[in-house]
Structure 1
Amino acid sequence: MIQLIIGGKGSGKTKKMIDMINESAKTTPGNIVCIEKSMKLTYDIDHNARLIDVDEYKIEGYEMLYGFMAGILAGNYDIVEVYLDGVLKLGNHDMEGLGVLLDKVNALAGDTVKVVVTVSANMDQLTDGVKKYL
């Protein structure tokens, strides 16, 4: 299941995601993973959530991101929630490519993993491939 948090730069997407992570860390019985570009959330999210900096692994582009996420999920079957912050930065702001990525991640996550993605864009910038996850 995919949930998108949409809004322009500075609209509070990351803050909303942080609140969701911290609330889930209190109540969710499985593992929570937060994937971001840089480690700016280090002191904001609960220590029970695993924070991963894609820059450490030289992840560039949606294909590499998908493979990385598949590896994370394959390596730990106890993951129940994945949060992905700033996805457009990783995909060079390719909105069409984001729709393809979301389709692949949705199939990968199935009904067992909740995936929350922040997208720095206004509603009129979204493609149909992205909008279907709203």
Structure 2
Amino acid sequence: MVNLLTGPKGSGKTQQMIELANQQAKACNGNVVFIKNSHRDTSSVTFDIRVVCMDDYEAIKNIDEYIGFLYGMYSANHDVECIFIDGILKRDHIKAEDMPKFVERLKGISAQCGIDFYVSISADKSELSNVDLTDCKVLN
């Protein structure tokens, strides 16, 4: 399942993502991964969540490379059950027009690997009208 958390910058999406990740860490049998853009604000993520900072992977410059990164993460650990991606549009080379392709690719990975994705997007739901929300859940 692909879960989307949308809203303008500064609307509290990151804190909601952290709370959801902490809840999933308690409920999941597998591993939870929290992907964020910088090394800030990791103290409120529970210790058993794997936090990945994308600042450490500057070579990832587009959606295809990001998807490859996710597949690599799964291939290294088949126990990954939930992946939280905070602020996908904060990556310099990923734009709102990339979201339809990105969400479709996430749906495929979710179905193939059994991973639930939670993605925060700094955009209003109306700005994502070209994204096929079939098999997605919008959390707000």
The code of the aligned residue for 2:107 comes to N
Give the aligned partner of residue 29 of structure 1. Answer: 29
| CA spacing shift, 1:35–1:75, aligned 2, 3 Å | same
The code of the aligned residue for 1:39 comes to H
The code of the aligned residue for 1:99 comes to P
Q: Residue 3 of structure 1: SS of its match in structure 2?
A: strand
Give the aligned partner of residue 107 of structure 1. Answer: 108
Moved over 4 A (4+): none
Superposition CA RMSD, Å: 1.7
Q: Residue 40 of structure 2: SS of its match in structure 1?
A: coil
Q: Residue 131 of structure 2: SS of its match in structure 1?
A: helix
2:127 to 122, 125, 128: 125
The code of the aligned residue for 2:10 comes to G
Percent of aligned positions that are identical? 28
Q: Any unmatched runs of 5+ in structure 1?
A: none
CA contact (8 A) 1:98 1:130 kept: no
Give the aligned partner of residue 70 of structure 2. Answer: 69
Query: What's the CA shift for 1:101?
Result: 1.1
The code of the aligned residue for 2:5 comes to I
Q: Residue 70 of structure 2: SS of its match in structure 1?
A: helix
Alignment: residue pair count: 134
Query: What's the CA shift for 1:80?
Result: 0.3
Query: What's the CA shift for 1:93?
Result: 5.2
Give the aligned partner of residue 45 of structure 1. Answer: 45
Query: What's the CA shift for 1:113?
Result: 0.8
Q: Residue 44 of structure 2: SS of its match in structure 1?
A: coil
Q: Any unmatched runs of 5+ in structure 2?
A: none
